[in-house]
Each structure stands twice: as structure tokens, then as C-alpha cells.
Structure 1
Amino acid sequence: MIAQLTGIIVEKIPPEIVLDVGGVGYEIQLPMTSFYQLPDIAMQVTLYTHFVVREDAQLLFGFVDRVERTLFRVLIKANGVGPKLACTILSGMSANQFVSAVMHEDITALVKMPGVGKKTAERLVVELKDKLNDLETLPNLSIHKPMATGGSESQLLVAKVSAIDEAVSALIALGYKRNQAETAVRKIASEDASSEKLIRDSLKSMV
């Protein structure tokens, strides 16, 4: 089991990064709540990880703190919830928001996540309420706000298009339909918005 990795970020394509650990590049998928908090490329970071081995793939999921990883592990033990859906849920809700939705049996909030229908939401409440009640109080997750960068008008246009495409791709990877992702991103797109900001604001608008 790979429980923790410390290395240099060499690539960031939300919701995934490539982390260089001693010359070996690890491809890691993160919930967007963790992705927002990553430092810039070429900076060092320590991630708590969960390694998933399947017949057709080996997947590595990363988290900036133990709380989110613990919640991820609780989620994937629920009936019908795999790692991808767990990652999607934690991208659309902070740990505290998810715990609050389950504890207050807020089915409406849960079904707004892609892949979570009414039956799945009801099952999450039934299966996880007692387990989450046993966890320690979850701290609020801080959200990193990307810095806007300068540049010529043409450079900004290219950056905007790139950021929009990247944001749409990230939302699709998280389980949203393409038309839903494109509509949400373009609705809030602005000249100086980074892909991370577009993803964060799009997720907020859909939940």
C-alpha cells in the first residue's frame, strides 16, 4: 500500500497531477477540493494516498490531508460507490458539507452530484450516518485561490480558451456530461480566470 508520497509537481491537468518522486513520475487523481490547495508546478508537496488495484488498471488517488482520505475510504466502502464516484463527490462538496448532508439526511444536496441518484443518496445516508458520527470533527478545508497572470491580449485569449477546455475536460472526468460541463463553465468564464477557478465556480453553480 502506498500511503504517502512527497515529491515535485511536474504536471497539473485537473483532476490529475504527475508527481516526481525520486525520478519516478506518479500519476495521481485528486478530488478538486484537494487540487485547489496544491502549490504551483515545480514545487514540492506531500500527499496522503490511496492505491487501488483492479484487473484492468492501477489507480492512485491523492489528498492534501488525512481527513479527506479518511472520508474517501469511508465512501468507497458504501454499496455502489467506487473510487471515481467518491472522488467526484469530494470534488463537488467539502468534507464538512458532505458529512453535514449525510447527518441531516439532505438527499437533495447529494443527488446534485453526477452519478448519485435518489436511491444511492438514500443508501449513503443509511450506510454512512453512524460511521461518520464516529469520526472526529472535520476541519474546514481551505481553498487555494490562483493568482491571475499578465500578458498580451492574444496570450490572454489563448489562456482563456485553454482554461475553458481544461475546466470542461476536468468536469467530464469527474462524471458530468459534456453539455452540462460546457454550459456551466462558459456561463462563468472570464478573461483572467484560471482553469482551477473555472472548475471551482462551475462546481459551486451546479450544487
Structure 2
Amino acid sequence: MIDFVEGTLVYLDAEYIVVEAGGIGYRLFCPNPYQFVQHEGTKTRLFTHHHVREDAILLYGFASRDERDLFRKLLDVTGIGPKGALAILASASPEQIVMAVQQENVTYLTKFPGIGKKTAQRIILDLKDKLTGYTPSAILTVAAASQKTGEQAASHLNEALEALAALGYSEAELQKVRNPLAEQAREGAGVEQLIKQGLVLFSR
């Protein structure tokens, strides 16, 4: 079992980053690879989840143990696979996700990509008790204002993606820019800024 990978961040992609350690390049699938852009060319450490299936052996990388541990708990929810769990973590912080589950906030959870009402209810049912002992220490200082900020970011992201779709971009194209735009939305970018950044990403 690989608990973490530490090495030089060689390059990143829309879905993963590559870290060189001991002469080996490890491809690590991340919730938002672009959050590591400032570390490109420098030494970095990612906590990992080693996922094995019949046709592939994959490594998932996370900036913190809290994020990695929550990813693993999401995988225990019926109907949520690695891609779905990554999409959830790309859209909110672990603290915001844990708070939503503990408050049984179905409306908030359904804002995540691919999460309908039934899946949101399943997340709450499967994880509420399991997260009691998990709660990150930072959640103790997260107030209602923090959740409101997260909801506003999700709203701005959705509006920007809808605007880009209206300009003719396909769902496949929109999925490629969702993660970097979600990160910028959480940092306070407005709808207009997100649309402009989306157009920049499409032009690359």
C-alpha cells in the first residue's frame, strides 16, 4: 500500500499530475490538479489512495490526509465510484462536505456533479455516523458563512458553465474545465471571470 508520494511535480493535466520520485513518474489522479500548478517543478507530497480494478491499477493523490480519508469514505457509499468522489472533492472542501452530511443538507449535496436527490440521501445515510469521529479539526471554526460562500461558488460555477454551453461548447469540453473553474469559484471569482477563464482554457 502506497500511503504518499513525495517528489518533483513534473507536469499536470486536467485530470492528473505526474510526480517523479526515485526515477519513476507517478500519475496521480486528483480532485483539482490545477491547485498544484504553483508547485510545478518543485518538490511536493501527496497522500495517495491505491485503487485496483480488473483493467487498471490507479493512484489517486490528495493535498491532505483529511481529503484522502474523505475520498475513501465516499467510495463506501453505494453508487459512488472514484470519479464521482473526485468530482465531489473538486467542488467543496472536506469541511464543507462533512458539515453538509452532518446537517443532512440534501440541497447542498445535490449541487455536486452527478449527485441527485437519492444519491445525496444515500451519502447522508451511509456516512453520517461514520463521520462523527472523522470530523477535521478545522470544521470547528467553520460557521454558516463558510457554507454560504461554498454555495455561492457552486452557483457561480453552474452559471458560468451554462453560459459556456450556450456558446456551443459540448458537455465533454465543459467537464475538462470544470475542476479549474471550480477552484477559482471557491477563491471568489464571479460568473464573468469564470466565463473568461473558461474561454482561455478552451483556447489552449
Question: Do the two structures share a fold, i.e. TM-score over 0.5?
Answer: yes
Counterpart in the other structure of 1:28: 28
- Partner Cα distance (2:200, 2:44) in 1: 21
- Partner Cα distance (1:137, 1:59) in 2: 26
Instruction: List per-residue Cα deviations over 1:38-81 (Å, max 9, x = no partner).
Output: 64321000111001011111111001111111111111111111
- Partner Cα distance (2:107, 2:119) in 1: 12
Amino acid at match of 1:121: A
- Partner Cα distance (1:69, 1:167) in 2: 25
Counterpart in the other structure of 2:56: 57
Q: Where do 1:1-207 residues align within 5 Å?
A: 1-32=1-32, 35-37=34-36, 39-139=38-138, 169-171=176-178, 188-190=195-197
Query: What is the TM-score with the length of structure 1 in the denominator?
Result: 0.68
Q: 2:11, 2:40 within 8 Å by CA — same for their partners in 1? A: yes
- What do you get for the CA RMSD once the two structures are aligned? 3.0
Moved over 4 A (4+): 184-187
**Partner secondary structure for residue 60 of structure 2:** strand
Count of residues in correspondence between the two structures: 160
- Partner Cα distance (1:61, 1:114) in 2: 19
Q: 2:12, 2:37 within 8 Å by CA — same for their partners in 1? A: no
Instruction: List per-residue Cα deviations over 1:74-126 (Å, max 9, x = no partner).
Output: 11111111111111100001101101111111111111111111100001011
**Partner secondary structure for residue 36 of structure 1:** helix
Which structure's residues are more often helix, by fraction? 2
- Partner Cα distance (2:31, 2:131) in 1: 19
Q: Which runs of no fewer than 5 residues in structure 1 stay unpaired?
A: 142-165, 174-183, 196-207
**Partner secondary structure for residue 130 of structure 2:** helix
- Partner Cα distance (2:20, 2:76) in 1: 30
